[in-house]
Every structure is written in C-alpha cells, then in structure tokens.
Structure 1
C-alpha cells in the first residue's frame, strides 16, 4: 500500500536529466557570450571614444552590475515559474539588447553606451536560472556534478573573448552584433521547444517570492557562501572581462591577441568548474574551496610582480584560472547541502548575485589603481590576494563542507 506514495515521493529523474542539463548549459553559454560582449571590444571603444582607463573600466563593468543584482529576483522567479519559461524570457529579452548595443556603439556616444550596457546585464541572470533548474534534475549526492557541468556555461566568456573580435574583423562591428543577436534569439526559441522542468517540481506549490527571499537572507550560510562566491567567481568574471584591457596595457597586445589569451583563461576555468563540483561531491566542498583560495593567493602575488615573457606569466594566469574554476564548483557544491531544497533557487540566486557583484568591483579597482607610468596593477592584484585570504579563513568555519554533509 505504501508503494504509490513512495513512487510519488521519488520521481524518476533519469529520463531526460542529462539532455536538459546539456541544453541548459548551452543556453547559459549563449547568455554569457551576450553578457560579456562589451569586454573584448574595450580597446576599440577606448580608442574611438577617447576613454580614460577609469571610463573603460566602468563600461566593461556595467553589464556585470545588472547581471548580478538581477540574479536575486530571477532566482526567486525560477523557483516559482520554472527554468524553461525563465530561460526563454531572459534570452528573448537579451537578443534585441545585443542588437541595440551594436547600434549605439556605432554612435561613439559613451553615456548612451553605458546605459545600454547596463540593461544588457540581464543576460547574466541565466546563471541564477540554471542552478535550480539543473539541481532539481539530479539526486542530492549528484547536485555538485549537475551545478558544476551547468557552470561550464561560463565558457560563453571564452567564446565571446575569442570570437567577438574575430567576427568584427571579418564581418564588421554591427554585423557581429546582428549575428550574436540571432544566435541568442534562436536559443530562446529552442529553450521553449526543448527544455523541460524536472518532474521533482510536479505538485510543488509556488510560494510568493518575497517571503522566500526574507527566509533566505536570514540563513547564516547564505551570507557565508555569498562572500566565498563573491571572491572566487568575482575574480573569474573580473579577469574574463578586464583581461583584454590588462594585457593591452601591460603587455601591448592587440584586441585579437588579447582576446585569444582571455579565451584560454576562461576556458581553463570552465573546464575546472565541473571538476570542482564533482570533487566536492566526493571529498566535500570545504577542501576544494580551501585549495582554490590558497593557490589563488600565491598566484595573484606572482602575477602582481609582472613577470616578463609569456612562457612565465601565461602559465601563471592559466593556473589561476584552473584554481578559480575549481573554487566556483566547490562553493556551489555547498549550496545543495546547506540549503533547504525548496529554497535552492532563491538562495542560489542570491549567491550567484554575490558572485556577479564580486566581478563588478575589481575592474573598477584595477582601473582606479592602475599606474600608467610603470604599467602596474600591483595594488589591485594584492587586494585580490587579501580577499582570498579572508575567504580562506571563512571557509574553515562554514558547515556542511565535509565528505558527507552534516545532519
């Protein structure tokens, strides 16, 4: 007599889980490409509009700001309406914004471009959709794997860094934005036609967003994981967006060459993220997160010394990307363990917002502390090491981080 209730309590997640995980990851990749389309063209904007390093940093950081703040309500709305609808809506809104970026960018109007970049930031909220969407498709002991694989959608930053300047060189500035806008629009349509929400959501009564947000903010672990993720994911986002500017100023790379190296940095972090999530499932997220922050402290200080020769600084940046990727997977491996299942989307959205905000401020700091006489970013990179040290110490005391989650 108990077989029916048991079956209802344990829906079949196997059928369609991997397909939906891959589709969501591809949608995230496209969203991240649109979200970071400004950064690879920062040198072009700086030259055409005669921007200072500070103005360039503001332009690059603006989409990150909105993409971060908006993750909180989008995460809560995903809990309510499901990932299929939210992916479709967000990508559907993003497509015309990419096209508008191309229109305004041709006008060489800096204030107007900043405004458009502000709204373009909505593309970055795809992350807050995918975390609860993918997490709901997997069992508790495989949620780290699921969120890690979905997090590989960060490869969109590498795609943007590699292809955007090349498309501009091959087809022109405006046509590049048309191409990307079409890709985003097609992705929105495919999300509606092919994505399916997890059967685990069946019968779940949607709760109002505000009470869930208040409850999430009352959880101590929400604030703890917010800080950890703000540091590790923020560093990744900041470098992925600002690295073309950094390489141009410090090592005199042109946009295409700088974009290629930035793509390599982003790709290394993307590959490492699902590895970090899988290792967090096996060994616990705490040890993976500690390893990430410890290594980043050392690497940030080595990079701050500005070693000459790409055979030296190239591997340093790649190693930093790998450890940051491990850390992003490790920290989000904590979310499913430490958060009530019904609030994963809301808490995940808040933590994702913190990560995005963590990527908003570093480009501004790098621009403000840049020393043009010595081409030095020593102060900014030292601050990164300091924040990583603070995160390392905090990670030591966060619960639910062992090989098995504490009861």
Structure 2
C-alpha cells in the first residue's frame, strides 16, 4: 500500500511541477508570436525588437543561479509559488506597455521566470528514484518547454478572436493571470518530498563550494560567463541607445569589479574549506559541472534562441503571415513533448555519456545543414530539417540533465542552476551573433559550438551511487 501511494505521489508531483513550468515558459515566450505585430504597431526598429528578445533571456541567467540556491535552502514549493505570483506583475505591465522603454524594462524583469526550470528539477529529483530520474526529468522539461509552442499556437488565434489592435495585449494579459492563479494553487498542492522523509535543506544560500584546488580554478572560470551574459545585456542596451556610452562603460566596470570581488571572496572561503580536509562523501567533480554546462549552452541555448527568432525568420524569408509563421515555428518546440523524455530514457537505458556523444555529433551536422537554408528551398524541406534538428536538440538536453542530479544530491538546485544558466547564456550569445550577422552564420556558429562540446564530453567521467530505503547501495547510472 505504501509503495502504491508513493508511486501515486510521484506521478502527482511530477504533473504538478510540470504544469508550473509549462505556465512559466508560456509566460516567458508570450511575446514571440507577436513580435512583428508589436514592431509594426509601436514603430520599433529591427534592432529594438532584437533587443527585446535578448533582454527577455538576460536575467534568467543570474536568476537560475540565485533560484537554485533558494530552492536548496527553502524548498521547491515556496520558491515556485512566489516566483509565479511575482512574475505575473511585469507580465501585466508588458501587456499594457505603450512605449519602448516600458516594454524593455518589463521584459527584462519578466525574463526571471525562465529560472523556474531549476525548481522543478530539484522537486523531481526528490520524488523519483535515480534509475528513472532521466526519463522523469525529460517529461518535466519536455512538456514544460512545450509552453512556448503552446503560446505560439494559441495566443495569435486568441488575439484574433478578441479582435482589434489590442488583441495581442489581452492574450498576453491572460497568461499573467494564469501564472498568478497557478502560483496560489501550487502552494497548497505541492510537497517538497514524500511523507516518509524530510527535505535535505542546505544551511544557507551561499554559492557552490569546490572540494579541491583544481575544482576551485574550474569554478572560477565557469562563473565568468554568468557575468559575461550581463555584459552582453549592457552592450545590447548601449547599441540600441537605451543607455549612453559612459553609462555602459560604468556598468561594465561595475560588473567586472563585482566578478573579481565575488571570486576573491569565494577563493578565501573555499581555500579554508579545502584545508580542513573535505570528507569523501562531500566531494564531487567540478569538471563534470563545466562539461554539462557547456553542453547545455549549445543544446538548450540554441533551442531558446531559435524559438525566439523562427517566427520572424519565416515571415522575412518566406513571406507568410504572423499566425502561419508562429504555427510553423512552433514545430521546433513541439517535439519537446516526446524528444526530451526520450533523451532521458535512452540515457537511463543505454549509458549517459554514450548517448550524449551520439546526439551532440548528429546535432552539429544538422545545424550545419540549416546554415545552407535559403528562401529558394521548398518550405516543406525547411520544416523537415528544423523538426529533425529539434528532435535531436531536445533529446540531447534531456540526456544532459539526466546526469545533473547525479553529481551531488543536496546541491542539485545550485548545480542545475549553473547548468541551466548556461542554456540561457547560450541563447543570449547566439541571439547576439544573429543581431550582427546573417541567418546562415547564426546556424553555423551553433554547429561549431556543438562540435567543441562533443570533444570536451569525451573527457566526461561520472559515477553515481544512491542508497535505497533499505540502505542497499546500487549503481544506478551507467555512463560509458
């Protein structure tokens, strides 16, 4: 009876957390189907609409790190509820925005909702056995990320039904209301862990600690792009004349100084920690965190970037209207429903490293193929290539996160926050490339990044052991 109840609880919590992430993603990408409409109605330039796409992703980078710490400290239930409720406010402000600055600021703040991903990863890890966690996290991420595709499919027709030039505003407003309501529902229905055990809270919200000197060097290096993402944001705002050259320079200096100060503080704290002889049970490999972070940079980062730009790509290259462009573009996110769970399942079944290497190699080839796309191609061939690329991309993302929760269980929130942040950093970098180049260079850049990730993944070494309730230790993750 207890086993049956536990199984029911697993399904219930995975469903509840998946729906929360689904709504978060729907709110996060509620602008994408209306980019051309907003640009035309508010008389925005191509660079201004491009800046809106970038700022929509920017704060999710530090947000995933911060949210990861908060989840480890306070638990998924409280953090997810508060995030959904508070992020409904900038969604409302964006919906009623009448000038570019108002849209930019509200979109910048609203991008924080992208950090919701790491909350559910920790929650699923607490409820699902390690031998099945890859598949369960694939369902969570795959069906949750479908929120972007669902937004692309449903919001434009909804705006047309409402009618008038403000139809897009009402459609976006409704997604904010949905987030507000579900945030309250989540608080009263979710549980951090099964009833038979307590959630392993961390004692504070301090950043990740390295357990060896070499790991501390790696941690210092992989922390830099978090601040680099903020640098790209500052550059984008400066290029669009939102902030002056002097203010941009000052912002760069503040960001750089903050990085150096935080790294200095981290070095002092970690050196003292390492000198005290870290117990073997507390040790984990920072190199694995770095490799998985770079893998997510190219897989999920490219996915986010493409979801943001595909509707406009089809409108510009194939002269279709906004509804048709959004429907076609949604095919890239639609495959999340089954491809990401498939990536997790394949990793659970056939070996995580082996599957990830195969998927990275295939994906690099597919993106290279996309770099040759042009408007003279039959549109069905373009769609077919995009769908194939999407399938492998989602599966690779699922394969990566099937390993994240196996690195260090009680630090899963922070580690998934770091890896997840790299997905957003990737999207930010790829969109920045698109802002200063052509579509073919954009796709080729992603392909080269994936090839480099393939080479680094060859050095990945990850083992995971987890005790069952009867304290029998089993090897649950076959990597090689």
Q: Tell me the TM-score normalized by structure 2.
A: 0.77
Structure whose alpha-carbon radius of gyration is higher: 2
Q: Does 1:224 align with 2:291?
A: yes
Could you say if the C-alpha distance between residues 263 and 205 of structure 1 is closer, same or farther in structure 2, counting changes exceeding 3 Å? closer
Q: 1:166 aligns with which of 135, 138, 157?
A: 157
Q: 2:431 aligns with which of 347, 363, 387?
A: 363
**What is residue 258 of structure 1 aligned with on the other side?**
325
Aligned residue runs from structure 1 range 259-274, under 5 A: 259-274=326-341
Q: How many residues align?
A: 388
**What is residue 350 of structure 1 aligned with on the other side?**
418
User: Is the 1:213–1:346 Cα contact (8 Å) retained in structure 2?
Assistant: no
Q: 1:390 aligns with which of 443, 446, 452?
A: 452
SS state of the match for residue 192, structure 2?
A: coil
Q: Does 1:240 align with 2:303?
A: no
**What is residue 257 of structure 2 aligned with on the other side?**
none
Deviations 1:241-268 (A, max 9, x none): 1111111121222111111012221011
**What is residue 373 of structure 1 aligned with on the other side?**
none
- Pairwise CA RMSD: 2.2
Unaligned runs of 5+ in 1: 1-6, 371-376
Structure 1 CA distance, aligned partners of 2:50 and 2:180?
28
**What is residue 329 of structure 1 aligned with on the other side?**
398
**What is residue 86 of structure 1 aligned with on the other side?**
79
User: Is the 2:351–2:479 Cα contact (8 Å) retained in structure 1?
Assistant: no
**What is residue 3 of structure 1 aligned with on the other side?**
none
**What is residue 263 of structure 2 aligned with on the other side?**
none
SS state of the match for residue 16, structure 1?
A: helix
Deviation at 1:18, TM superposition (A): 1.0
User: Is the 1:231–1:358 Cα contact (8 Å) retained in structure 2?
Assistant: yes
Q: 2:177 aligns with which of 177, 182, 194?
A: 182
SS state of the match for residue 305, structure 1?
A: coil
Structure 2 CA distance, aligned partners of 1:314 and 1:203?
45
**What is residue 469 of structure 2 aligned with on the other side?**
none
User: Is the 2:202–2:410 Cα contact (8 Å) retained in structure 1?
Assistant: no
Structure 2 CA distance, aligned partners of 1:404 and 1:29?
28
Aligned residue runs from structure 1 range 60-71, under 5 A: 60-71=53-64
User: Is the 2:25–2:114 Cα contact (8 Å) retained in structure 1?
Assistant: yes
SS state of the match for residue 14, structure 1?
A: helix
Q: Does 1:281 align with 2:271?
A: no
Moved more, 19-28 or 245-254: 245-254
Deviation at 1:54, TM superposition (A): 2.6
Deviations 1:289-333 (A, max 9, x none): 222222222222222212511221111000000000110000111
Deviation at 1:214, TM superposition (A): 6.0
Q: Does 1:249 align with 2:239?
A: no
**What is residue 318 of structure 1 aligned with on the other side?**
387
Structure 2 CA distance, aligned partners of 1:103 and 1:201?
46
Deviation at 1:46, TM superposition (A): 2.1
SS state of the match for residue 206, structure 1?
A: coil
Deviations 1:113-148 (A, max 9, x none): 111100011211110111111111111111112211
User: Is the 1:13–1:138 Cα contact (8 Å) retained in structure 2?
Assistant: no
Structure 1 CA distance, aligned partners of 2:479 and 2:312?
44
Deviation at 1:401, TM superposition (A): 7.6
Q: Tell me the TM-score normalized by structure 1.
A: 0.90
Deviations 1:367-401 (A, max 9, x none): 2203xxxxxx1111111111011111111111128
